[in-house]
Amino acid sequence: MKIGFLGGSFDPVHHGHLVAARDAREACALDRVVFVPAAQAPLKPAAVRASASDRLAMLRAAVASEPGFAVSDHELRRGGTSYTVDTARFFRAEFPGAQLFWIIGADQLARLPRWKDLPALAQLVEFIVVTRPGSAWRRPAGLPRGLRLHRCSGHTAGVSSTELRARARAGLPLEWFAPQKVVALIRRRRLYH
């Protein structure tokens, strides 16, 4: 079994996240993609805006009708700073015979050498790097030997969680940026206002 994991704050989840997950799933023939919302991402010092339960509810709503997509609340239950190496160890124990992949965007590739205990992480997972059309892709210096990178040409989805939060604050429409069930949750719970 080939399982991909996509971590992040998902504050809120949007079509860009979903398209990247689908691109990675199709390009690398993954059996499943698991979204892993972080309690606190170590390289994003700003605190998340929505609660853990709200972010989890939005993610579950976003993937409910997507075959092959799932959500794990492991990092939220663990709490504290979410380090990928710790999460990868957990999933390696959960899926001992599976081939595990961590999905990142090309923008994260340059930051990869800063990730905690990268040599150990490289032994646990392979990386799928989702690039945008026209974006440059090169292996950064400082990556440990044995780290496996798979390039995945992704579709452009010009949307960000920051933009969605700003649109929600301003009372602007959120449709076309996020799944309708996510938009409904944001409105019903008055998130980001």
Predicted confidence at residue 134, as pLDDT, reads: 64
- CATH number assigned to the domain comprising residue 46: 3.40.50.620
Domain extent at residue 116: 2-158
Average pLDDT over residues 63-81: 94
Residue 9 domain flag: yes
Residue 101 domain flag: yes
Indicate if the pLDDT at residue 86 is higher than 90.
yes
Angle formed at CA 40 by CA 145 and CA 72, multiple of 5 degrees: 80
Average pLDDT over residues 49-57: 94
Q: Between the CA atoms of 95, 75, 117 and 147, what dihedral angle is there, to the nearest 10 degrees?
A: 50
Residue 186 domain flag: no
Predicted confidence at residue 133, as pLDDT, reads: 66
Count of domains for the chain: 1
Average pLDDT over residues 35-39: 95
Residue 179 domain flag: no
In 3-state terms, what secondary structure has residue 151? strand
- Unique residue bearing structure tokens 């998340």: 48
Residue 14 domain flag: yes
Predicted confidence at residue 75, as pLDDT, reads: 95
Q: For the chain, where are the E strands, in sequence order?
A: 2-8, 32-37, 69-71, 99-105, 126-131, 149-153
Predicted confidence at residue 132, as pLDDT, reads: 74
Indicate if the pLDDT at residue 85 is higher than 90.
yes
Indicate if the pLDDT at residue 162 is higher than 70.
yes
Predicted confidence at residue 31, as pLDDT, reads: 98
- Unique residue bearing structure tokens 């075959």: 67
Indicate if the pLDDT at residue 61 is higher than 70.
yes
pLDDT digits over 93-152, tens only?
999 999 999 999 888 888 899 999 999 999 999 999 998 766 677 888 889 989 999 999
Residue 140 domain flag: yes
Listed ranges 36-45, 58-67, 126-135; the one with the highest mean pLDDT: 58-67
Predicted confidence at residue 44, as pLDDT, reads: 66
Residue 99 domain flag: yes
Q: Give the C-alpha separation, 28 to 30, whole Å.
A: 6
Residue 153 domain flag: yes
- pLDDT, the chain, mean: 92
